[in-house]
Amino acid sequence: MFRPLSLYIGLRYTAAKRRNHFISFISLTSMIGLMLGVAVLIIVLSVMNGFDRELKQRILGMVPHATIQAAGVLQDWQEVDRQVEQHPSVIAAAPYIQGQGMVTGGGDVRGVMLNGILPEQERSVSIIEDHMIEGGLDDLKSGEFGIIIGKLMASALRLQIGDKVTVVLPEASVTPAGVLPRLKRFTVKGVFSVGAELDGNYTLIHMDDASKLMRTGGKAEGVRLLVDDLFQAPRVARDVATELSGRHYISDWTRTHGNLFQAIRMEKTMIGLLLMFIVAVAAFNIVSTLVMVVTDKTADIAILRTMGATPGRIMRIFIVQGAVIGITGTLVGTALGIFGAYNISGFIAWLEEFMGHQFLSADVYFISYLPSQLQWQDVWIISGAGLALSLLATIYPAWRASRVDPAEALRYE
């Protein structure tokens, strides 16, 4: 024979139709279980990677990576902006004025975050321009009191371009008529949609208008930074603040949205661990399959031993048989997982349209669709773990086969 005997017999045992159909059924279920476990693990981790990516690109593309503020207002924000942009890790910087308030329109009221910006600089630190569905940042003109709102807010308040809304601040003004809330009429100039919770509570107005409304005397409240590495934002903010004269306060995205990011990371780790147990259970089903095969093939093993087969060769025969089940299940499962990871977003979108029901509402979740991002590192780890567990599961049955005593096995044949 020009082929290895152990490989030849192991493959023949795997492909042969056994007399005991129950053993064939167990082999098939072991393979299917391993296949489904690997596929589901790849798909689920890809979805978790997708949530992680959307958090970075969408949520953290809208909110500041880091901010620098003074005790009150920045007296010379232009100089601060110039010094900040000289740092090698800062891509861009832009001034802002931020406050909380309420927007009334269409007979409803909604709490919002008001962001006073300079349109010409905001597009350098935010992705908002790429997600405008009506209007644009250039429509915000100083003195016109225009406002850009999110799609969810526009739907909730039944607003369109050109409609009037009233912005109410949680501060009172003393007038001859008494104490009145501070409010101002704005005109809707644009609508954006990032598919996240920000669509319902994030608004943009011109910084000059925000200065008049919040009485900052034409000064900016702070400067927001766009850094080249999200995870270095706290360090960059500290380094920049130490280079500035005077006393400044710093903040970064880890304080505002870090808990969400950490929750996704922890959930990915825990879900991956739990699903790996499913893969392990499916892999160790190979043990029961091979034990029954060894029992079924005891006479064949004894004959091979009497013909000169060594215990090591007998052991390799059944390792090959178990490895074929494990490798086939892992490879097919990997292929299905990759296919599912690339298509799960489109499938869920089609299912939502077909059923007329949205599974992920932006009112509840921070994005409104199911994202997916396949990372090949996860594929290699999952595939390698599946192969390792399936090969490990073959050792005991193969060792048991190698310990068969020919005389005892053939006594009653």
Does residue 178 register a pLDDT over 80? no
Dihedral sign from CA coordinates of 262, 265, 266, 271: positive
Report which of 223, 227, 250 is spatially closest to residue 95, judged by C-alpha positions: 223
Q: How confident is the model at residue 335 (pLDDT cuts 50, 70, 90)?
A: very high
pLDDT of residue 107 exceeding 60, the answer is yes
* Tokens at 247, concatenated: 């006393």
Residue with the larger pLDDT of the pair 106 and 161: 161
CA distance 300 to 295: 10
* DSSP annotation string for 108-166: EEEEEEEEEE-HHHHTTT-SGGGGEEES-GGG--TTS-EEEEEHHHHHHTT--TT-EEE
Cα 77 from Cα 83, distance rounded (Å): 10
- What is the model's pTM? 0.66
- Higher-scoring residue by pLDDT: 26, 174: 26
Half-sphere exposure of 160 (CA within 13 A, CB side): 0
Residue-wise DSSP of 59-108: IHHHS-SEEEEEEEEETTHHHHHHHHTTSTTEEEEEEEEEEEEEEEETTE
CA distance 40 to 334: 9
Which residue type is seen at 317? Answer: I
**Amino acid letter for position 408:** E
Name the nearest CA neighbour of 401 among 240, 307, 292, 308: 292
Q: Are 190 and 181 in contact (CB under 8 A)?
A: no
Is residue 218 within 8 A of residue 238, CB to CB? The reply is no
| Residue 363 banded pLDDT, cuts 50, 70, 90 | low
How far apart (Å, rounded) are the C-alpha atoms in residues 401 and 300? 11
What are the sequence ranges of the domains in the chain? 5-58+261-410, 72-246
pLDDT for 368 equals: 67
Question: What is the pLDDT, as a whole number, of residue 70?
Answer: 80
Question: 395 Cβ partners below 8 Å, 6+ apart?
Answer: 319
Q: Dihedrals φ, ψ of 375, to 5°?
A: -110, 120
Q: What is the pLDDT of residue 15?
A: 57
- Give the rounded percent of residues in the chain with a pLDDT score beyond 90: 8
Predicted confidence (pLDDT) per residue in 181-231, tens digit: 678 899 999 999 887 778 888 899 999 998 888 888 888 888 988 888 888
Give me the mean pLDDT over the 285-301 stretch: 76
The pLDDT assigned to 179 comes to 55
**Consecutive H or E run containing 396:** helix 395-402
Mean pLDDT of the chain: 81
Higher per-residue pLDDT: 411 or 334: 334
pLDDT digits (tens, 9 = 90+) for 5-62: 666 666 666 655 555 555 567 777 778 888 888 898 899 888 888 887 877 777 777 7
Q: Is 127 exposed, middle or buried (0-12, 13-18, 19+ CB in 10 A)?
A: middle
Q: Got the DSSP string for 288-340?
A: HHHHHHHHHTHHHHHHHHHTT--HHHHHHHHHHHHHHHHHHHHHHHHHHHHHH
pLDDT band at 326 (very low <50, low <70, confident <90, very high): confident
Reported as half-sphere exposure (CB side, CA atoms, 13 A), residue 295 has a value of 9
- Alpha-carbon distance of 390 to 34, in angstroms, equals 9
Query: Comparing C-alpha atoms, which of 224, 236, 337, 194 is closest to residue 279?
Result: 337
Residue 336 has pLDDT above 90, yes or no: yes
Helix-strand-coil split of the chain, %, nearest 5: 55, 20, 25
The predicted-structure confidence for 221-256, as pLDDT tens digits, reads as follows 889 888 888 888 888 888 888 888 778 888 888 887
Q: How would residue 2 be classed by pLDDT, with cut points 50, 70 and 90?
A: very low
Residue 307 pLDDT > 60, yes or no? yes
Q: Tell me, what's the pLDDT at 21?
A: 59
Whether the CB-CB separation of 313 and 6 falls below 8 Å is answered with yes
